[in-house]
Amino acid sequence: GAILGGILGLVWFSKKNKLSFFDLGDVVVLGLSLGEVIGRIGSFFSGSAYGIASHFPWSVPMIGLLGKREPVQIYESLAALGIFFILKKLKKPAGLLFLFYLLFLSITKFALEFLRGDSVYFFGWRINQIVSLIFFIVSGVLIYKRLGRTIRGDISSFWGGAKRRLQNHKKE
């Protein structure tokens, strides 16, 4: 819900201020990723978004729950930190950082949802996994479209340049 709300807020802000949605997304994405790191640590200490019962040595007791649990919040925090460092290294055309963030976040959330002990189900599916799949598909398609434009432009400029060089060579 928070991701969708953030995206809607970004859409509203970008339209109100006549800014590019994707450029604005690129500006806020590193902060979002670090916010996720801190937020999940907060979830861990508050006992929310807890994991399934577990007997692994790193399982932890959660307030108000029986037995030890998977520290899913810590896994999510570490994943968000990894996403932060990956995004920091990416050198992509404008607007892609935000889309890659959504792609990586959706993969992380989909996978870790299997370890969550507080999931809500809809027709046998975990709602967070359904939302993650939607974000994965949408961000993947948008990345493909945006990268495709760049790649097609690079290829056409390469072949166009090669064709011009060949024509100039024939004239000599």
Q: Which residues, 6 or more positions from 22, have their beta carbon under 8 angstroms from its beta carbon? A: 94, 95, 96, 98, 99, 146
**pLDDT value of position 155:** 46
> Tens of pLDDT along 49-67?
888 899 999 999 988 888 8
Burial of 39 (0-12, 13-18, 19+ CB in 10 A): middle
**Pairwise CA distance, residues 102 & 80, whole Å:** 11
Q: Residue 24 — pLDDT band, cuts 50, 70, 90? A: confident
**Pairwise CA distance, residues 163 & 171, whole Å:** 13
The alpha-carbon radius of gyration of the chain (Å, integer) is 22
Burial of 160 (0-12, 13-18, 19+ CB in 10 A): exposed
- Residue 141: CA atoms inside 13 Å, Cβ hemisphere, count? 5
